[in-house]
Amino acid sequence: MNLSKEYAAGPIRRRLSALGLLAAAVMVTTSTATATPAATTATATSAPEAAVRASTLGAQAAQSGRYFGTAVAAGKLGDSTYSTLLDREFTMVTPENEMKWDTIERSRGSFNFVPADQITARAPARGQRVRGHTLVWHSQLPSWVSSLTDANTLRSVLNNHISTVMNHYKGKVYAWDVVNEAFADGGSGAHRPSVFQNLLGDGFIEQAFRTARAADPAAKLCYNDYSIENWSDAKTQGVYRMVRDFKARGVPVDCVGFQAHFGAGGPPASFQTTLANFAALGVDVQITELDIAQASTTAYANSVRACMNVARCTGITVWGIRDIDSWRTGQNPLLFDNSGNKKPAYQSVLTTLGGTAVASSGTKRAAALPSSFGWSSGGQLIAPKSDATHTIAGIKDPSVVHHNGKYHVFASVASSAGYGLVYLSFSDWSQAGSATHHYLDRTAIGAGYRAAPQVFYNTRQGLWYLVYQTGNASFSTNPDIGNPDGWSAPRNFYASMPDIIRQNIGNGYWVDMWVICDSVDCYLFSSDDNGHLYRSRTTLAQFPNGFTDTVIALQDSNRYALFEASNVYKVQGGNQYLLLVEAIGSDGRRYFRSWTAGSIAGSWTPLAATEANPFARATNVTFPSGSWTRDISHGEMLRAGNDQTLPIPSCRLQYLYQGKDPNAGGDYNSLPWRLGLLTQTDSTC
Ligand code: XIL
């Protein structure tokens, strides 16, 4: 029986760990016969954490992994009432006019970034991200563009505008409204006339998105429009058909923005349906320019609730701060009055962002996880692929994000020679097995002991992070997750092993580093194969530097009950964090236990944390296509977003894990680990 996991750094470490393996096998055999594993004595609870009300729009939205933004005018930043509200309440900013064509490229080839730079430059230090608005729009378009008559000239003008602007803001803009308002009002469902449409035809939108993706592959690319909130409207249907077609043909579109400039009655009754239907195409949806004539509390609550009830509705932006800042003069459509006081609609939005009911039918409670789980597993999806220089026994420890229409999977590859990292991408799980394996030892990450990767996108820095173990906790960064050669050389999070780990690790191994951030701080979790889960902290602004305050976040006197491979996620739609830790059961098989907490540094309450009521164990997994593993081991949840907050949905969970032939044995590093996918079967929503 091979029960202990270790990552061999070299021949000496391997020989030492072989002794550890032996000891581990003996200890588990003993505990099976005589002891009740501590895991079985913990009690599960079904009580979801009560949501703690935050006091600002941005902080409240962040509790469900969303942002709350506003349009910003550079000329008003010197008004201290304005900038105080801006920085206190909002976590996303959209330049109201400063990125429009008539400001940025007023004459051909001459770019003026000064006004927009005033907005983007101050945002990161205030914890704000930026939506870029907008690259291609028929309005606020200088006449030198609208009077062009030659298609080839316009095509190169368009490409140059997109590339130049996006290049300037690379890493500074989270999402771009690549094309704004291209569809006609009324019953046609067709594109509106414009110089772009008239000279380039229907294909101009696709061209704009393709050019945008090439210019900044890390930015989210949105289509943005108004009067597309009512599901049955011809304009809504026209945009929906376009996005569906783009997704089917691989045209890069990541999000759809709903401007939501509403009359006094607020959103149409079908708004949530519209958001959900677009999200189901595989795009994020966002409310991008919300304002409502007279700002009734009900109309605002209905708008916000529609977003809260759709997992992929990732944020809400209001189109201005105070009523005097609004473009809709005299309609008082915003959340603050002319003096900057909160209006009743503000309270209504804050309450609704907290998931609390505001009298109306169809209101949902804040989402929370169930207290027991059932899963169905597919067959082996991903097996190792040896090549001329890599002879691989097992593929393990997967990390996965979905970005630009593709799954991007990072994993450990194991063999008797030690551990390395591999990357593969594919658009559909049916193609996972045939994807090319890129060995990352050929990149700046380099050869040697590198294992247990975790990937996420750092929105503050506009960079992908790959966190992994090397004996220390290490990381590399990459502006483009799709480019395996783009990873930087390893850097360490710690100067050396923190004292508290050194004091508690015994004969374990320091493994499975995991980073998660909230809107203020980042945390680094790790395990010691000796019953301890550790947690260090730094600020989001300082990350990746400054990890300190290392503490034991959770411990168990039975080292096998709290072994390794921890994951921490933010559950969307409520105020709940989920912790998973891999354990070795009394049958010697790997399985997962789970806990929840109201904050990342909070105390963990058992959720499904016993052998009898596990989070995921062979006993609560069915295998319709054949029971190929009894171990449900190191893996990762399919997330609802790729950023450092690690959001997951509260229902229909999917978990990518490692399993192996139950009869396989021998050298731990040579075991035939394969990857498979669990899908939750007993989801209640
Ligand atoms: C508006 C601005 O708020 C005004 O200051 C400007 O004069 C006109 O444009 N749809 C959009 C936004 O996409 O860019 C518009 O903003 C409002 C409608």
Domain of 95, CATH number, reads 3.20.20.80
Cis peptide bond prior to 115, omega within 30° of 0: no
HSE (CB half, 13 Å, CA atoms) of 234? 10
Please give the C-alpha separations between residue 48 and each of 52, 367, 597, in angstroms, as whole numbers: 12, 9, 9
How far is residue 550's CA from residue 535's CA, in Å, rounded to a whole number?
A: 5
Q: How many Å lie between the centroid of ligand 1 and the Cα of residue 128? A: 21
pLDDT in the model for residue 11: 32
How far is residue 486's CA from residue 479's CA, in Å, rounded to a whole number?
A: 7
106 within a domain of the structure (yes/no): yes
User: 289 CB less than 6 Å from ligand 1?
Assistant: yes
Q: How many Å lie between the centroid of ligand 1 and the Cα of residue 511? A: 51
For the purposes of burial, counting CB atoms within 10 Å of the CB of 15, is it exposed (0-12), middle (13-18) or buried (19 or more)? Answer: exposed
SS3 of 631, please?
Answer: coil
SS3 of 659, please?
Answer: strand
Residue 591 and residue 497 share a domain: yes
360 within a domain of the structure (yes/no): no
- Give 304's contacts (C-beta < 8 A, 6+ positions apart): 316, 348, 349, 352, 353
Q: How many Å lie between the centroid of ligand 1 and the Cα of residue 226? A: 11
478 within a domain of the structure (yes/no): yes
Which residue has the CA at smallest separation from atom 15 of ligand 1?
Answer: 96
pLDDT in tens, 220-230: 999 999 999 99
* Dihedral in degrees, nearest 10, Cα atoms 185, 189, 193, 194: 90
Please give the C-alpha separations between residue 50 and each of 143, 291, 366, in angstroms, as whole numbers: 56, 30, 9
Residue 68 and residue 32 share a domain: no
pLDDT tops 70 at residue 416: yes
Q: How many domains does the structure of the chain reveal?
A: 2
pLDDT in the model for residue 4: 44
Average pLDDT, the chain: 90
How far is residue 403's CA from residue 482's CA, in Å, rounded to a whole number?
A: 9
Please give the C-alpha separations between residue 543 and each of 89, 489, 639, in angstroms, as whole numbers: 23, 17, 21
pLDDT in tens, 454-474: 999 998 888 999 999 999 999
Residue 470 and residue 411 share a domain: yes
Q: Which atom of ligand 1 is nearest to the CA of 133?
A: 14
601 within a domain of the structure (yes/no): yes
SS3 of 67, please?
Answer: strand
Q: What is the pTM of this model?
A: 0.53
Residues 235/228, Cβ–Cβ less than 8 Å = yes
Tokens of 589: 């098989």
Q: How many Å lie between the centroid of ligand 1 and the Cα of residue 187? A: 24
- What DSSP element (H or E) covers 31? helix 11-34
Residue 33 and residue 103 share a domain: no
CATH number, residue 496: 2.115.10.20
pLDDT in the model for residue 293: 97
Strand partners, 439: 422
Q: How many Å lie between the centroid of ligand 1 and the Cα of residue 242? A: 24
Residue 511's pLDDT band, with cuts at 50, 70 and 90, is very high
How far is residue 504's CA from residue 508's CA, in Å, rounded to a whole number?
A: 9
Which residue has the CA at smallest separation from atom 3 of ligand 1?
Answer: 327
Residue 44's pLDDT band, with cuts at 50, 70 and 90, is very low
User: 97 CB less than 6 Å from ligand 1?
Assistant: yes
Domain endpoint, select from 299, 320, 353: 353
Q: How many Å lie between the centroid of ligand 1 and the Cα of residue 181? A: 11
Q: Which atom of ligand 1 is nearest to the CA of 180?
A: 13
363 within a domain of the structure (yes/no): no
Tokens of 150: 């030659």
Domain endpoint, select from 323, 353, 383: 353
pLDDT in the model for residue 317: 98
Please give the average per-residue pLDDT across 265-279, as a whole number. 94
Residue 636 and residue 619 share a domain: yes
pLDDT in tens, 340-359: 999 999 999 999 998 432 22
How far is residue 561's CA from residue 610's CA, in Å, rounded to a whole number?
A: 9
Identify which of 119, 259, 327, 328 to mutate to test ligand 1's pocket (most ligand atoms within 8 A of the CB).
Answer: 327
pLDDT tops 80 at residue 17: no
How far is residue 471's CA from residue 16's CA, in Å, rounded to a whole number?
A: 14
Residue 459 and residue 548 share a domain: yes
Catalytic annotation present for 181: yes
573 within a domain of the structure (yes/no): yes
Chain CA centroid to CA 323, Å:
33
Min mean pLDDT across 44-48, 290-294, 597-601 is at 44-48
pLDDT in the model for residue 16: 33
Domain endpoint, select from 353, 384, 410: 353
Residue 273 and residue 395 share a domain: no
Which residue has the CA at smallest separation from atom 4 of ligand 1?
Answer: 327
- Supply the DSSP string of 164-176, one letter for each residue: HHHHHTTTT-SEE
Residue 43 and residue 64 share a domain: no
Identify which of 104, 139, 192, 227 to mutate to test ligand 1's pocket (most ligand atoms within 8 A of the CB).
Answer: 139
Which residue has the CA at smallest separation from atom 9 of ligand 1?
Answer: 97
Residue 184's domain comprises 57-353
pLDDT tops 70 at residue 362: no
pLDDT in tens, 580-600: 999 999 999 999 999 999 999
SS3 of 203, please?
Answer: coil
pLDDT in the model for residue 156: 98
How far is residue 468's CA from residue 449's CA, in Å, rounded to a whole number?
A: 10
Sort residue 529 into left (φ over 0), alpha (ψ -120 to 50) or beta: left
pLDDT in the model for residue 648: 94
Q: Of 206, 289, 611, 636, which residue is the catalytic one?
A: 289
pLDDT in the model for residue 127: 87
User: 180 CB less than 6 Å from ligand 1?
Assistant: yes
Sort residue 573 into left (φ over 0), alpha (ψ -120 to 50) or beta: left
Q: How many Å lie between the centroid of ligand 1 and the Cα of residue 135? A: 13
pLDDT tops 70 at residue 551: yes
Please give the C-alpha separations between residue 215 and each of 107, 161, 176, 211, in angstroms, as whole numbers: 21, 11, 12, 6
Residue 32 and residue 106 share a domain: no
User: 259 CB less than 6 Å from ligand 1?
Assistant: yes
pLDDT tops 80 at residue 159: yes
How far is residue 400's CA from residue 450's CA, in Å, rounded to a whole number?
A: 17
pLDDT tops 70 at residue 484: yes
Q: Of 6, 49, 98, 181, which residue is the catalytic one?
A: 181
Residue 325 and residue 456 share a domain: no
Q: Which atom of ligand 1 is nearest to the CA of 73?
A: 5
223 within a domain of the structure (yes/no): yes
How far is residue 627's CA from residue 450's CA, in Å, rounded to a whole number?
A: 30
- Give 453's contacts (C-beta < 8 A, 6+ positions apart): 397, 399, 410, 411, 412, 421, 466, 467, 468
Residue 562 and residue 638 share a domain: yes
Q: Which of 265, 219, 290, 292 is nearest to 70 (CA)?
A: 290
User: 120 CB less than 6 Å from ligand 1?
Assistant: no
Please give the average per-residue pLDDT across 82-86, as a whole number. 97
Residue 272 and residue 382 share a domain: no
- The CA angle 135-226-246, to the nearest 5 degrees, is 60
Residues 650/571, Cβ–Cβ less than 8 Å = yes
pLDDT tops 60 at residue 668: yes
131 within a domain of the structure (yes/no): yes
How far is residue 432's CA from residue 658's CA, in Å, rounded to a whole number?
A: 14
The residue count of the chain comes to: 685
